[in-house]
């Protein structure tokens, strides 16, 4: 069979359903063009499937190729082969089963980037549990909310987060087990409390057998990953993905362009769905090496040094990272990059141009959500179009629809919608856990993303923004993303978030919140420079009439700007008749900008 090195002795029989996955995987690995991929890609009908046992163990057995390279900024590193990862995850599965984990039990992971998190992903899958990744930034109140709303039964955490979890209060009574990954030369201590499980040392797993046999059937529709959404405009919702979700990430693997000889690095936190996408499932779908780097604070120089040292060939990094990379001298590094992608934040053409100048490699964009796999992208070999996120991924049917679910003509804005009939892509969520919310996202055979875009005559999609974020100003439709994309081209701007506000004449106008690069200072002079840049480069109707400098943005666990919090903050300023500490208005610079007041 293609995709499996014949020198490895395959001890386990490949199931009928797993073979369908292997066949589609091998097709994508060997496809020669986007057109060929679209024509030949067909979702398989899979009934019984456990990616960890039916796929990973097959490619991992007797395979001494490096599956994972872990490093941190203190100089520690560890390489783990596929065979070692198979054995470790088997031991973890036996350990978890012995602790009482049963099929369907939900396990929340509150962990840093580490070798252990990969062992646990596989081990929990094998033991039958469902996985809920959680950000390490959560407060005790957040943890309590997730335990209750997510029906969590077990928590696994690195030791430094134990105190926060212990602070979750009465929610802990709902748990069946707590597992602590201890720090070196420390023990997992636990104060015994009635009806609250004591912390168990994760190292105990090493004592268990290296062979694992499940005593249940895993159906492809059983829950596997459950994610709390970003919540930029509302409280987080629980998204449910089943065991065929890894099959869905063949579209992600294709977009990344991964091949078995790649060393792939995805810059993201384990608390995000994106970590599962691009650090775990897609690389091992391709049978390549995945790299993870642990750091307390992102340092572009240390990251680039690591990319040089470990010969990273494939990189997935968001816009905010590329903004930081743009301030560094790439001639100091001997990079091995062959492919680069970006997702999570649409990339403006200036950043794409800069990335190619720094690396010599085209930066390709992609689009997906916590609720999906890669749905739209600029795929390997495809012509990149500035300002576009690309074309529809193989296996998806995506259209731009209006409020009546009628397709709009090219060039017109509408909502990005993915067809769920007659075939539902295996990468789409099963549903939200809240049945009432599902009425808003599944309609008429479509999944409604809540994102606005338009498609041009060539079939390329152009992102506009969240449906809830787009607003009207002076009878013009304003896309926050569009305004942000233009402002962020100023070299002083690290991040920008745009919201509607009310001016001194009670008109709705755009306001821009800005986080500056470290070498710039928020003051009147800086504000004037940015207002001049805005005036010279932006159409009058969408120019922000005020800007406010912040030291940082309120963000979701997936690092997306929480505009609802920015709006609430701005509304509170208006109610109290105040202005922000570093807030400046365009009208203050009428002389310097030679502005005339509109009547």
- How many Å apart are CA 178 and CA 165, to the nearest integer? 10
CB 40 within 8 A of CB 209: no
- How many Å apart are CA 148 and CA 191, to the nearest integer? 22
Tokens describing residue 510: 């755009």
3-state secondary structure of 462: strand
Judged against a pLDDT cut of 60, whether residue 290 lies above it is answered with yes
CA geometry: angle at 204 spanning 202 and 206, to 5°? 105
Q: What is the pLDDT of residue 432?
A: 94
The CATH architecture of the domain made up of 471-593 is: 2-Layer Sandwich (3.30)
**pTM, to two decimals:** 0.84
Q: What is the pLDDT of residue 598?
A: 43
Q: What is the pLDDT of residue 1?
A: 46
Percent of the chain with pLDDT over 70: 94
Residue with tokens 């560094």: 328
Task: Write out pLDDT tens, residues 143-201.
Answer: 999 999 999 999 999 999 999 999 999 999 999 999 999 987 787 777 767 788 999 99
Helix, strand and coil in the chain, % to nearest 5: 35, 25, 45
Q: What is the pLDDT of residue 539?
A: 81
Chain mean pLDDT for the chain:
91
Beta pairing class for 431-432 and 471-473: unpaired
- How many Å apart are CA 118 and CA 276, to the nearest integer? 10
Judged against a pLDDT cut of 80, whether residue 555 lies above it is answered with no
Judged against a pLDDT cut of 70, whether residue 596 lies above it is answered with no
CA geometry: angle at 50 spanning 45 and 51, to 5°? 95
Residue with tokens 């009147």: 524
The DSSP output letter for 460 is -
Residue with tokens 């499932």: 281
CB 307 within 8 A of CB 404: no
437 — pLDDT class (breaks 50, 70, 90): confident
CB 513 within 8 A of CB 496: yes
Q: What is the pLDDT of residue 230?
A: 58
Q: What is the pLDDT of residue 297?
A: 85
The CB density around residue 308, as the number of other CB atoms within 10 Å, is: 14
Query: What is the residue extent of each domain of the chain?
Result: 471-593
76 — pLDDT class (breaks 50, 70, 90): very high
507 — pLDDT class (breaks 50, 70, 90): confident
- How many Å apart are CA 356 and CA 335, to the nearest integer? 13
The CB density around residue 383, as the number of other CB atoms within 10 Å, is: 12
Phi, psi of 566 (to 5 degrees): -65, -40
3-state secondary structure of 442: strand
3-state secondary structure of 207: helix
Task: Write out pLDDT tens, residues 107-136.
Answer: 999 999 999 999 999 999 999 999 999 989
Please report which residue ranges of 310-388 form alpha helices under DSSP H: 319-325, 349-359
- How many Å apart are CA 428 and CA 449, to the nearest integer? 11
216 — pLDDT class (breaks 50, 70, 90): very high
> How many angstroms separate the Cα of 444 from the Cα of each of 368, 405, 441, 563?
21, 8, 10, 30
CB-count exposure of residue 190 (10 Å: 0-12, 13-18, 19+): middle
The CB density around residue 25, as the number of other CB atoms within 10 Å, is: 21
Task: Write out pLDDT tens, residues 556-574.
Answer: 554 567 777 888 899 889 8
Mean pLDDT is lowest, of 319-333, 470-484, 543-557, for 470-484
Q: What is the pLDDT of residue 599?
A: 35
Judged against a pLDDT cut of 70, whether residue 252 lies above it is answered with yes
CB-facing half-sphere around the CA of 40: CA atoms within 13 A: 15
Judged against a pLDDT cut of 70, whether residue 235 lies above it is answered with no
Smallest Cα–Cα separation from 38: which of 461, 426, 394, 399?
Answer: 394
Mean pLDDT is lowest, of 179-188, 251-260, 279-288, 428-437, for 179-188
Judged against a pLDDT cut of 90, whether residue 221 lies above it is answered with yes
């Amino acid at each position: 069979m293609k995709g499996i090195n014949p020198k490895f002795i395959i001890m386990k029989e490949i199931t009928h359903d797993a073979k369908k996955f292997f066949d589609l995987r091998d097709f994508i690995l060997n496809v020669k063009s986007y057109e060929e991929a679209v024509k030949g890609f067909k979702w398989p009908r899979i009934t019984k499937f456990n990616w960890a046992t039916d796929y990973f163990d097959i490619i991992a057995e007797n395979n001494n190729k490096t599956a994972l390279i872990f490093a941190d900024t203190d100089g520690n590193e560890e390489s783990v082969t596929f065979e070692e990862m198979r054995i470790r995850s088997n031991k973890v599965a036996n350990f978890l089963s012995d602790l009482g984990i049963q099929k369907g039990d939900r396990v929340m992971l509150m962990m840093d980037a580490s070798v252990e998190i990969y062992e646990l992903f596989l081990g929990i899958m094998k033991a039958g549990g469902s996985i809920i990744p959680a950000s390490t930034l959560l407060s005790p109140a957040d943890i309590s909310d997730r335990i209750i709303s997510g029906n969590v039964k077990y928590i696994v955490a690195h030791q430094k987060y134990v105190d926060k979890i212990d602070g979750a209060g009465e929610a802990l009574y709902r748990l069946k087990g707590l597992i602590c990954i201890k720090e070196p030369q420390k023990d997992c201590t636990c104060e015994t409390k009635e009806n609250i499980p004591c912390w168990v040392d994760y190292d105990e797993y090493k004592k268990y057998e290296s062979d694992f046999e499940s005593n249940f059937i895993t159906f492809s529709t059983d829950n596997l990953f459950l994610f709390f959404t970003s919540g930029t405009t509302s409280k987080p919702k629980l998204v449910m993905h089943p065991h065929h979700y890894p099959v869905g990430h063949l579209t992600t693997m294709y977009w990344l362009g991964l091949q078995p000889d790649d060393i792939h690095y995805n810059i993201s936190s384990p608390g995000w769905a994106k970590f599962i996408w691009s650090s775990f499932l897609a690389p091992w779908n391709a049978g390549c090496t995945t790299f993870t780097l642990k750091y307390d604070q992102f340092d572009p120089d240390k990251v680039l040094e690591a990319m040089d040292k470990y010969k990273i060939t494939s990189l997935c990094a968001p816009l905010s990272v590329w903004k930081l990379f743009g301030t560094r001298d790439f001639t100091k590094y001997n990079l091995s990059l062959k492919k680069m992608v970006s997702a999570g934040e649409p990339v403006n053409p200036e950043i794409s141009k800069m990335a190619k100048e720094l690396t010599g490699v085209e930066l390709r964009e992609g689009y997906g959500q916590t609720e999906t796999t890669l749905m739209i992208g600029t795929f390997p070999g495809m012509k990149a179009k500035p300002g576009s996120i690309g074309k529809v991924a193989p296996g998806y049917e995506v259209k731009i629809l209006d409020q009546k679910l009628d397709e709009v003509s090219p060039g017109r804005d509408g909502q990005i919608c993915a067809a769920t009939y007659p075939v539902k892509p295996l990468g789409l969520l099963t549903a939200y856990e809240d049945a009432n919310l599902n009425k808003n996202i599944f309609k008429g055979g479509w999944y409604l993303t809540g994102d606005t875009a338009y498609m041009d005559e060539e079939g390329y999609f152009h992102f506009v923004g969240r449906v809830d974020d787009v607003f009207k100003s002076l009878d013009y439709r304003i896309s926050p993303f569009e305004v942000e994309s233009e402002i962020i081209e100023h070299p002083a701007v690290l991040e920008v978030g745009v919201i509607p506000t009310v001016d001194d004449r009670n008109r709705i106008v755009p306001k821009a919140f800005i986080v500056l690069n470290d070498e710039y200072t928020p003051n009147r002079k800086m504000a004037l420079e940015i207002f001049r840049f805005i005036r010279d480069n932006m159409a009058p109707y969408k120019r922000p009439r005020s800007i406010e400098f912040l030291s940082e943005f309120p963000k979701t666990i997936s690092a997306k700007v929480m505009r609802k919090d920015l709006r609430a903050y701005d509304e509170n300023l208006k109610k109290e008749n105040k202005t922000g500490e570093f807030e400046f208005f365009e009208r203050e610079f009428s002389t310097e900008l030679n502005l005339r007041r509109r009547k």
